[in-house]
């Protein structure tokens, strides 16, 4: 798909790469406890309380999961999870030099850097056969998904997570940390330029290790830039 974009951009003029104009990290906490636990007050600190807002247009995304196993034969098992969703948008209608009538394509480039050592362990999902403990296999990475935000988040650091929809070119999961990733966002940016409300993009953790019988952590700082291409005048 990106090779096709490269061919389409032959003869086009590229504007200066655009950094996010609005960015934020959103937070969500979940907990599970077996019936033997009753009601308790176990909590896990949110990711947004552990890390401060990055001033350089960076967003956090990732999760931490803590599995607390109780003694047999009727264990009080608990899973505590906090996750972070990175949201950002570019105010595409104010990009310097933009000419909507000459708009051709747009590519979103994302780079991630871990905020702490990554350790993801895949265990049996919570709720499977009553939440009993099972063996797990360690993995060296965790998965994320780039999507379109269903609604623009507010500016509150650690505010509530937002719903999302797939990219029109197809959302695909990617692993982070890692090298720069590129995504075709031509249709999304074009719609926003033509007056559709710009809700922006979100990066959401989607690892199957979330809410499983394991202890895992993967918190990544993502930076992004938008590359916009225009057809030559008269082209």
Q: Note the pLDDT tens digit of each residue in 69-91.
A: 777 777 787 888 899 999 999 99
pLDDT tens digit sequence for 106-161? 999 999 888 888 888 776 666 654 444 444 555 556 789 999 999 887 778 888 99
Q: What are phi and psi of 100, to 5 degrees?
A: -55, -40
**199 vs 164: CA distance, rounded Å:** 10
pLDDT greater than 50 at residue 3: no
**Cβ 65 vs Cβ 165: under 8 Å:** no
**Cβ 152 vs Cβ 201: under 8 Å:** no
pLDDT greater than 50 at residue 33: yes
Q: How many CB atoms lie within 10 A of CB 40?
A: 10
Structure token digits, residue 136: 């797990």
Q: What is the pTM of this model?
A: 0.86
Burial environment of residue 176 by CB neighbours within 10 A (0 to 12, 13 to 18, 19 or more): buried
Distance of CA 222 to the CA centre of its chain: 9
């Amino acid at each position: 798909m990106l090779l096709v974009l490269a061919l389409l951009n032959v003869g086009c003029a590229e504007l200066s790469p655009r950094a996010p104009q609005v960015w934020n990290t959103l937070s969500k906490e979940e907990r599970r406890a077996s019936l033997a636990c009753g009601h308790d007050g176990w909590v896990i600190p949110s990711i947004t309380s552990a890390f401060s807002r990055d001033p350089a247009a960076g967003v956090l995304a990732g999760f931490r999961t803590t599995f607390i196993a109780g003694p047999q034969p009727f264990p009080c098992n608990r899973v505590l999870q906090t996750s972070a969703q990175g949201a950002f948008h570019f105010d595409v209608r104010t990009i310097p030099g933009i000419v909507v009538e000459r708009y051709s394509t747009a590519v979103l480039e994302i780079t991630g850097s871990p905020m702490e050592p990554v350790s993801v362990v895949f265990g049996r999902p919570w709720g499977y056969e009553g939440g009993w403990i099972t063996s797990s296999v360690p993995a060296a990475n965790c998965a994320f998904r780039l999507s379109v935000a269903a609604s623009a988040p507010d500016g509150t650091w650690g505010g509530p997570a937002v719903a999302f929809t797939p990219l029109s070119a197809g959302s695909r999961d990617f692993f982070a940390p890692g090298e720069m990733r590129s995504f075709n966002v031509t249709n999304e940016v074009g719609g926003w330029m033509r007056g559709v409300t710009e809700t922006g993009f979100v990066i959401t953790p989607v690892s199957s290790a979330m809410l499983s019988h394991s202890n895992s952590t993967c918190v990544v700082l993502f930076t992004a830039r938008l590359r916009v291409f225009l057809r030559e005048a008269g082209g």
